[in-house]
Homo-oligomer: A and B are copies of this chain.
């Protein structure tokens, strides 16, 4: 079904139909005719042809590293909230943490095209920079700092430092501090957060020994493996800090598995369970990200709350400013954090922000 056919069936010109569709001048009589034909045929105008003409899709593409993540869904929720009130729609592309796929999808969005792109950043390679410099649609990066695009990021260093202090404090008289980080290619999580953590430890008079350090991928399974390895080799860990709550969940799983091995009978039979604190070993796990599911089913581990929803909101606002008002001044926004050391009263704070 094309606009031409509709025009023929209604006995008008295609321009009249176009105007009808877009709120231009059409006489009441023709309006009726056109409406009728459209209803009968179920005609849907081709968006792509319109975009080809108008250069405006009212659409933004969001590239995310993975789908199943509370932090990312908070960011996209923030994005979506401002987009929808401003008449835009949002399309997502998930890269499964593959930087190559990231480029592919960025280019797809660019040429599809969308009016703008939001990249929830992980690793910024030279090719990424290349793209950011020459993209023909505006791009905003969320979650990483970059000079090559407008960006919104979080104070990972500060958060790491705060957590480092806390870890040192908790470890005192209990054991050593261990840390499970991620690839340093991720500047925010792998570098800033980790360096901040080390600085925090040192500020508290402690430190992170190399043998108590591992790197994991951004998955629970990977966290499980890293924690297992740590627990097998080191018997004096007092605090096991993880770069994300997801990794921390894997670490908790590892602790539970160890504990089960040690006291298989009594524990299993009584059904007693310890959450993140193991009665025997007394190891404390910490994370980053303030995962709500984790908090709900355990007592809540010490973690850091980032304003993910806020960063999504700001990111979308920034993007729309560039799209609609051609904002030229480069912008970098750094958002703060909040250390969450235990479960708090649900009613006081909106954790989804």
Name A's B-contacting residues (CB within 8 A): 1, 42, 44-49, 51-52, 59, 66-70, 72-73, 76-77, 80, 89-94, 96, 104-105, 107-108, 110-113, 134, 136, 220, 224, 246, 249-250, 252-253, 256, 270-277, 279, 291-294, 296-299
Copies in the complex: 2
Name the contact of A292 in the complex, choosing from B220, B273, B296 (C-beta under 8 A): B220
Tell me the complex Cα distance, A293–B69, Å. 11
The residue in chain B whose Cβ has the minimal distance to the Cβ of A224 is B296
The residue in chain B whose Cβ has the minimal distance to the Cβ of A291 is B293
Name the contact of A296 in the complex, choosing from B44, B77, B252 (C-beta under 8 A): B252
A225 to B: closest C-beta gap in Å: 10
A170 to B: closest C-beta gap in Å: 12
Q: Which residues of B contact A275 (CB under 8 A)?
A: 271, 273, 275, 297
Given contacts A48-B48, A68-B70, A298-B298, 10 further A-B contacts (CB under 8 A): A46-B111, A59-B108, A68-B68, A80-B94, A224-B296, A276-B297, A291-B293, A293-B293, A294-B297, A297-B297
Would A136 and B44 be within 8 Å (CB), given that A73-B68, A91-B93, A273-B273 are in contact? yes
The residue in chain B whose Cβ has the minimal distance to the Cβ of A51 is B48
Q: Which residues of B contact A279 (CB under 8 A)?
A: 270-272
Q: Which residues of B contact A273 (CB under 8 A)?
A: 273-275, 277, 298-299
Tell me the complex Cα distance, A44–B131, Å. 11
Tell me the complex Cα distance, A292–B253, Å. 10
Tell me the complex Cα distance, A275–B253, Å. 12
B44 touches A110 (CB 8 A): yes
The residue in chain B whose Cβ has the minimal distance to the Cβ of A69 is B68
B112 touches A48 (CB 8 A): yes
Q: Which residues of B contact A73 (CB under 8 A)?
A: 66-68
Would A47 and B299 be within 8 Å (CB), given that A73-B67, A249-B293, A273-B273 are in contact? no
A56 to B: closest C-beta gap in Å: 12
Tell me the complex Cα distance, A274–B273, Å. 4
Q: Which residues of B contact A70 (CB under 8 A)?
A: 68
What would be 29 A-B contacts, judged by CB atoms less than 8 Å apart?
Answer: A42-B134, A45-B111, A47-B112, A48-B51, A67-B68, A68-B68, A68-B69, A80-B94, A80-B96, A89-B93, A89-B104, A89-B108, A90-B93, A91-B92, A91-B93, A92-B94, A246-B293, A249-B296, A249-B297, A252-B296, A253-B296, A256-B296, A256-B299, A271-B277, A275-B275, A276-B297, A293-B293, A297-B298, A298-B298
Would A297 and B252 be within 8 Å (CB), given that A89-B105, A108-B47, A111-B46 are in contact? yes
The residue in chain B whose Cβ has the minimal distance to the Cβ of A112 is B47
A220 touches B296 (CB 8 A): yes
A226 to B: closest C-beta gap in Å: 14
Q: Which residues of B contact A72 (CB under 8 A)?
A: 67-68
The residue in chain B whose Cβ has the minimal distance to the Cβ of A46 is B111
Interface pairs A-B: 7 shortest CB-CB: A273-B275, A68-B73, A253-B296, A271-B277, A92-B92, A47-B111, A67-B73
A220 touches B49 (CB 8 A): no
